[in-house]
Structure 1
């Protein structure tokens, strides 16, 4: 039976795990599914860019999640 679930992976870490780990590191010991789902398109768009393209935006690959969620997580 085919599955309708889409599995996304960036490198060796799935994107979902990467987002969950980011929130756990911020002290949010929950799975913010709604926030993740609402911003997934932007995260995927940024993750798919080259490091050079990210640099032109003033971002690093590790800076994508803090950038996407900057309005709810104050550094």
Structure 2
């Protein structure tokens, strides 16, 4: 039997830090907690997809997950 257990708490913590870094680098002057938590499930689901599926939905790779998840807040 294979053990494909994913530690979702660790994954979520890594993504929380990435999200905070991403939003801070874009100079957003608001508390990101709610924006981050609202999108964390979407980000985690996208991160589990294979590269081929990411491309199918219009993402060039994992580096596009955060811009995609926050596109409504960062649209010019």
The TM-score bracket by the shorter chain reads: 0.7 to 0.9
Report how many aligned residue pairs link the two structures: 68
**C-alpha RMSD of matched pairs (Å):** 2.2
* Structure 1 unmatched runs, 5+: 1-5
| Distance (Å, rounded) in 1 between the aligned partners of 2:42 and 2:68 | 10
Higher strand share goes to which structure? 1
Higher relative contact order (CA 8 A, sep 6+): 2
Higher helix share goes to which structure? 2
| Distance (Å, rounded) in 2 between the aligned partners of 1:44 and 1:9 | 8
Query: Normalising by structure 2, what TM-score?
Result: 0.75
Query: Normalising by structure 1, what TM-score?
Result: 0.76
Runs of 4 or more off by more than 6 Å in structure 1? none
Query: Cα deviation per residue 1:2-21 (whole Å; 9 max; x = unaligned)?
Result: xxxx63338xx811111111
Q: How does 1:1-75 map to 2 (within 5 A)?
A: 7-9=9-11, 14-28=14-28, 31-59=31-59, 60-75=61-76
* Structure 2 unmatched runs, 5+: 1-7
